[in-house]
A and B are shown apart, each in its own frame.
Chain A
Amino acid sequence: MTEPQTEPQTEPKTLPRPTGATPSTTRAPRGLSWKARRRGFTVLHRFLLVVAMIFFVAPFLWMLLYSLLPAELLQRRDPDLDLTRITFSEYGDLLTDSSFLKPMGTSALVALLTTLICLALGSFAAYGIARFRFRGRQPLLLAMMATQAIPVIVLAVPLFIIIRGMGLFDTPWALVIVYTATILPLVIWMMVGFFEAIPASLEKAARIDGCNRWQMLLRIAFPLAATGLAATGIFAFITAWSDFFLAKILTASGSTTLPVRTASFQGLFAMDYTAAATAGVITSLPVLVLTLAAQKWIVRGLTEGAVKG
Chain B
Amino acid sequence: MSRPHSFPTSSAVSRRRFIGIGGALAAGGLLAACGGEEPVTGGGGDAAPASTLGTTSGASGSIRILDDNTNPVFLNGVVEAFQNDTGITVEYEQANFNDLHDRLATLFSAQDSSYDVVMTWAAWSAEFGQAGWLQALGSDAVPTDLLPAALDAVSWNGTVYGLPKFASAQTMFYNKELFRQAGLDPEAPPATWDEFVAAAKALTTGDRYGFTCDMGNTDGAYQNFVRTLLLNGGQMYGDDNTVTFNDERGVEALTKLRDLLTVDKVMNPSSLQITNASDLGTLFGAGQTGIVFNWPSQWAAATKEGAVVGRENTGNAIIPGISVTTASIDGSEGFAINQFSQNKPAALAWLQYVTQRPVQTRIVEEEGWFPVTTTLLDDAAITETLPVVSTYKEQSDFEIRRYGSPWYSDVTQVLSTNISRAMLEQATPQEALDEAAARATDIVERYTG
Give the CA-CA distance A161 to B26 in the complex, in Å. Answer: 12
* Pairwise interchain contact A269-B19, C-beta atoms closer than 8 A: no
* Pairwise interchain contact A153-B3, C-beta atoms closer than 8 A: no
Q: Does A202 contact B (CB under 8 A)?
A: no
Q: Does A68 contact B (CB under 8 A)?
A: no
* Pairwise interchain contact A75-B2, C-beta atoms closer than 8 A: no
Evaluate whether A269 and B276 lie within 8 angstroms (CB atoms) in the complex, with A154-B22, A157-B26, A161-B110 already known.
Answer: yes
- Chain A 153-189 interface 0/1 with B at a Cβ cutoff of 8 Å (1 = within): 1101100110010000100000000000000000000
Give the CA-CA distance A172 to B93 in the complex, in Å. Answer: 19
Interface residues of A in 72-114 (CB under 8 A from B): 75, 77
* Pairwise interchain contact B99-A271, C-beta atoms closer than 8 A: no
Q: Does A292 contact B (CB under 8 A)?
A: no
Q: Does B103 contact A (CB under 8 A)?
A: yes
* Pairwise interchain contact A252-B22, C-beta atoms closer than 8 A: no
Q: Does A268 contact B (CB under 8 A)?
A: yes
Within the complex, which residue of B99, B106, B270 is in contact with A77, where a contact is CB–CB below 8 Å?
Answer: B270
Evaluate whether A75 and B68 lie within 8 angstroms (CB atoms) in the complex, with A248-B103, A252-B93 already known.
Answer: no
Give the CA-CA distance A253 to B115 in the complex, in Å. Answer: 14
* Pairwise interchain contact B2-A269, C-beta atoms closer than 8 A: yes
Q: How far is the CB of B88 from chain A (nearest CB, A)?
A: 21
Q: Does B1 contact A (CB under 8 A)?
A: yes
Q: Does B279 contact A (CB under 8 A)?
A: yes
- Taking CB atoms, residues of chain A closer than 8 Å to B99 are 248, 260, 263-264
Q: Does A140 contact B (CB under 8 A)?
A: no
- Taking CB atoms, residues of chain B closer than 8 Å to A260 are 99
Q: Does B447 contact A (CB under 8 A)?
A: no
Give the CA-CA distance A154 to B2 in the complex, in Å. Answer: 28
Q: Does A147 contact B (CB under 8 A)?
A: no
Most chain B beta-carbon contacts within 10 A, residue among A156, A157, A268 = A268
Q: Does B275 contact A (CB under 8 A)?
A: yes
* Pairwise interchain contact A249-B102, C-beta atoms closer than 8 A: yes
Q: Does A139 contact B (CB under 8 A)?
A: no
Evaluate whether A271 and B276 lie within 8 angstroms (CB atoms) in the complex, with A160-B106, A161-B110, A248-B103 already known.
Answer: yes
- Chain B 409-423 interface 0/1 with A at a Cβ cutoff of 8 Å (1 = within): 000000000000000
Q: Does A267 contact B (CB under 8 A)?
A: yes
Q: How far is the CB of B281 from chain A (nearest CB, A)?
A: 8
* Pairwise interchain contact B97-A268, C-beta atoms closer than 8 A: yes
- Taking CB atoms, residues of chain B closer than 8 Å to A153 are 15, 18-19, 22
- Taking CB atoms, residues of chain B closer than 8 Å to A138 are none
Q: Does B278 contact A (CB under 8 A)?
A: yes
- Taking CB atoms, residues of chain A closer than 8 Å to B107 are 160
Interface residues of B in 257-315 (CB under 8 A from A): 270, 275-279, 295, 297
Give the CA-CA distance A157 to B110 in the complex, in Å. Answer: 6
* Pairwise interchain contact A263-B22, C-beta atoms closer than 8 A: no
Within the complex, which residue of B18, B69, B106, B295 is in contact with A267, where a contact is CB–CB below 8 Å?
Answer: B69
Q: Does B375 contact A (CB under 8 A)?
A: no
* Pairwise interchain contact A269-B70, C-beta atoms closer than 8 A: yes
Within the complex, which residue of B96, B112, B276 is in contact with A263, where a contact is CB–CB below 8 Å?
Answer: B96
- Taking CB atoms, residues of chain B closer than 8 Å to A248 are 99, 102-103
Q: Does A270 contact B (CB under 8 A)?
A: yes
Give the CA-CA distance A236 to B295 in the complex, in Å. Answer: 44
Q: Does A266 contact B (CB under 8 A)?
A: yes
Q: How far is the CB of A256 from chain B (nearest CB, A)?
A: 9
Interface residues of B in 205-262 (CB under 8 A from A): none
Chain A count of residues within 8 A CB distance of the other chain = 24
Interface residues of A in 259-280 (CB under 8 A from B): 260, 263-264, 266-271
Q: How far is the CB of B282 from chain A (nearest CB, A)?
A: 8
- Taking CB atoms, residues of chain A closer than 8 Å to B23 are 157
Give the CA-CA distance A260 to B99 in the complex, in Å. Answer: 8
Q: Does B54 contact A (CB under 8 A)?
A: no
* Pairwise interchain contact A271-B106, C-beta atoms closer than 8 A: no
- Taking CB atoms, residues of chain B closer than 8 Å to A270 are 276-279
Q: Does B109 contact A (CB under 8 A)?
A: yes
* Pairwise interchain contact A252-B2, C-beta atoms closer than 8 A: no
- Which residue of B is nearest A251, CB measured? B103
Within the complex, which residue of A154, A252, A269, A271 is in contact with B95, where a contact is CB–CB below 8 Å?
Answer: A252
* Pairwise interchain contact A263-B2, C-beta atoms closer than 8 A: no
- Taking CB atoms, residues of chain B closer than 8 Å to A267 are 4, 69, 96-98, 276, 278
- Which residue of B is nearest A77, CB measured? B270
- Taking CB atoms, residues of chain A closer than 8 Å to B95 are 252-253
Interface residues of B in 77-118 (CB under 8 A from A): 93-99, 102-103, 106-107, 109-110, 112, 114
Q: How far is the CB of B41 from chain A (nearest CB, A)?
A: 19
Q: Does A245 contact B (CB under 8 A)?
A: yes
- Taking CB atoms, residues of chain A closer than 8 Å to B19 are 153, 156
- Which residue of B is nearest A264, CB measured? B96
- Which residue of B is nearest A266, CB measured? B4
- Taking CB atoms, residues of chain B closer than 8 Å to A160 are 106-107, 109-110, 112
- Taking CB atoms, residues of chain B closer than 8 Å to A249 are 102-103, 106
- Taking CB atoms, residues of chain A closer than 8 Å to B278 are 267, 269-271
- Taking CB atoms, residues of chain B closer than 8 Å to A264 are 69, 96, 98-99
- Which residue of A is nearest B277, CB measured? A269
Q: How far is the CB of A156 from chain B (nearest CB, A)?
A: 5
Q: How far is the CB of A248 from chain B (nearest CB, A)?
A: 5
Evaluate whether A157 and B96 lie within 8 angstroms (CB atoms) in the complex, with A267-B69, A268-B2, A271-B275 already known.
Answer: no
Evaluate whether A268 and B110 lie within 8 angstroms (CB atoms) in the complex, with A77-B270, A252-B95 already known.
Answer: no
* Pairwise interchain contact B110-A164, C-beta atoms closer than 8 A: yes
- Taking CB atoms, residues of chain A closer than 8 Å to B70 are 268-269
- Which residue of B is nearest A161, CB measured? B110
Give the CA-CA distance A154 to B22 in the complex, in Å. Answer: 8
- Taking CB atoms, residues of chain B closer than 8 Å to A268 are 1-4, 68-70, 97-98
- Taking CB atoms, residues of chain B closer than 8 Å to A156 are 19, 102, 106
Give the CA-CA distance A77 to B3 in the complex, in Å. Answer: 23
- Taking CB atoms, residues of chain B closer than 8 Å to A77 are 270
- Which residue of A is nearest B107, CB measured? A160
- Which residue of B is nearest A252, CB measured? B93
Instruction: Other than A248-B102, A252-B95, give 19 A-B pairs with Cβ distance below 8 A.
Output: A153-B19, A156-B19, A156-B106, A160-B106, A160-B107, A160-B109, A160-B110, A249-B102, A252-B103, A263-B99, A266-B96, A266-B98, A267-B4, A268-B1, A268-B3, A268-B69, A269-B1, A269-B2, A270-B279
Chain A interfacial positions (CB closer than 8 Å to B)? 75, 77, 153-154, 156-157, 160-161, 164, 169, 245, 248-249, 252-253, 260, 263-264, 266-271
Interface pairs (23), CB distance under 8 Å = A153-B22, A156-B102, A156-B106, A157-B26, A157-B110, A160-B107, A160-B109, A164-B112, A245-B102, A248-B102, A249-B102, A249-B103, A263-B98, A263-B99, A267-B97, A267-B98, A267-B276, A268-B2, A268-B69, A269-B295, A270-B276, A271-B4, A271-B276
3 nearest A-B residue pairs (beta carbon): A270-B278, A268-B97, A264-B96
